[in-house]
Amino acid sequence: MQIRVNGTAHEIDVEDEMPLLWALRDALDLTGTKYGCGVAYCGACTVLLDGKAVRSCTLPVAAVAGKDVTTIEGLAKPGALHRVQQAWLEHQVPQCGYCQSGQILAAVALLEATPNPSDAEIDAAMTNVCRCGTYTRIRAAIHSAARA
């Protein structure tokens, strides 16, 4: 099957029902997308599908045929971080960092849909779980990226 990830078409030999998460990690060696809960709750596996945040741990790889998948590896451009990644650094968001690739991609999707979100809109959109509890810094970084 062929899937388009981070702007590049890839031919992969996997079962149609394999979760996208495992196709990314095992077939394409893109390990920035993390496994957390396996039931689409925590958001560690969040990627962008045609610009929308989706949980890849339960999404069959066949569902992404003809669509663009963006992982954390494809977010920055050569020599320049994405504005959300830069804001994450400036606000020292990560503690353990495990959930951050999913958090960042969820924030990118939020800012595409809502360029200047309120605290309430951020809280409603950012459903990813952070066990370290850096939600205040996440919110501050999103506001900063919105201004960038």
Domain boundary among 29, 50, 74: 74
Residue 61's nearest CA partner among 51, 53, 69 is 69
What pLDDT is attached to residue 115?
Answer: 98
* Cα Rg of the chain (Å, integer): 15
The string of pLDDT tens digits covering residues 97-114 is 999 999 999 999 999 999
The strand pair at 68-70 and 46-49 is best described as antiparallel
Tens digit of each residue's pLDDT (9 = 90 or more) over 40-88: 999 999 999 999 999 999 999 999 999 999 999 999 999 999 999 999 9
Q: Domain containing 119: what range?
A: 83-147
Instruction: Give the number of C-alpha atoms closer than 13 A to the C-alpha of residue 140, restricted to the C-beta side.
Output: 11
User: pTM of the entire structure?
Assistant: 0.96
Task: Answer yes or no: do 8 and 68 share one domain.
Answer: yes
Q: Do 25 and 69 have their domain in common?
A: yes
Query: What's the CA gap between 139 and 95, in Å, rounded?
Result: 15
Instruction: Identify whether residues 39 and 101 lie together within a single domain.
Output: no
Model pLDDT for residues 16-33, shown as the tens digit of each residue: 999 999 999 999 999 999
Domain count along the chain: 2
- With beta carbons less than 8 A apart as the criterion, state whether 83 and 89 touch: no
Statement to judge: residues 94 and 55 lie in one domain = no
From 25, 40, 74, the end of a domain falls on 74
